[in-house]
Amino acid sequence: MQLAFEKHGVPVQWTVVNEGGNGTEAQIDFYKDSSWAKNFDVCIHNECFADTTDPAYIRSITKPHQEGLNAVVIHCAMHTYRSAEIDDWRQLLGVTSRRHDHRSAYKLKVAEKQHPIMKSFPDGHTIADDELYIIEKVWPNTTVLATSTSERTGKDHPVVWTNRYGKARVFGTTYGHSNSTFEDPVFLDLVVRGTVWAAGQEK
C-alpha cells in the first residue's frame, strides 16, 4: 500500500490501531483520548463491532469527523455500531447497511465516470470474491460512484461512494472482505485514489 500511494505522488505516514479482539462489542482505548484525531489528515475505518451501542463512545469518534477530520470507510465499517439506536455513525458512512448477500464475483458499474476517483477505473471490473452489502438507505450528502447487482434480487446497490459529513470528506466502499480483494491492484488503486480525494489532495 505504501508503494501504491507513492505511485500517486502522496507521501504517507501510518498510525495503525489493531485492538478489540474477535467479539462484536469493543471500545477502543485510542478513541477515548479526546485529542485522538489531532494531526491526522484522514482516518481509515475498517473496524467490525456490530453490537457496540454506547452513544457517548460512538460520538467520540464521529465528532472529530464532523469537525473536519476526513475519513475512508471500508467493508466492515458499514456494519459497525449497527445495533446502535443513534444514526451518527451511519451519517458519517453515508449509507445504512445491516446485512449482506453471499460471497461471489461482482461486477462494478461506474455511475460517475468523470469523478476524479473513478476516471481511471475500468467500468465492469469484477471483484472476484467478496460480499455484496445490502444498502437500506443512501444519506442525503452521499454521491454514489459505482454499484453492483444482487444475484438474489437483481437490485443494484451502491458499492463505492463519497459523502460529506459536516466539514469532512468521506470515501467509502463496501468491498474488502477477502484477501483476494486486497490483492487486486485495481481495487487497491481505487482505495488509494479515494483516500487521496478524502484527504483533500484531489479536488
Q: For the CA atoms of 87, 91, 15, 32, what is the dihedral angle to 10 degrees?
A: -30
Fold topology of 2-20+27-198:
Rossmann fold (3.40.50)
pTM of the model: 0.94
According to the model, what pLDDT value does residue 62 have? Answer: 98
Burial class for 12, CB neighbours closer than 10 Å (0-12, 13-18, 19+) = middle
Q: How far is CA 149 from CA 19, 103, 132, in A?
A: 34, 13, 8
User: Nearest to residue 128, comparing CAs of 71, 197, 181, 194?
Assistant: 181
Better-scored residue on pLDDT, 64 or 200: 64
Give the pLDDT confidence score for residue 141 in this predicted structure. 98
Measured CA to CA in angstroms, residue 160 lies from 47, 145, 147 at distances of 18, 5, 7
The tens digit of pLDDT for each residue in 78-105 reads 999 999 999 999 999 999 999 999 999 9
pLDDT in tens, 12-52: 888 999 888 888 999 999 999 999 999 999 999 999 999 99
Residue 161 clears pLDDT 80, i.e. is over it: yes
Q: Express each pLDDT in 103-115 by its tens digit.
A: 999 999 999 999 9
CA distance 171 to 149: 20
CB burial of 113-130 (b: ≥16 within 10 Å; e: otherwise) equals eebebbeebeeebebeeb
Contacts of 166 (CB under 8 A, 6+ apart): 65, 66, 67, 68
Pick from 86, 99, 69, 87: which is nearest to 170 by CA? 69
Q: Name the DSSP letter for residue 108.
A: P
CB atoms under 10 Å from CB of 52, counted, come to 21
The pLDDT value recorded for residue 5 is 65
Does 3 have pLDDT greater than 60? no
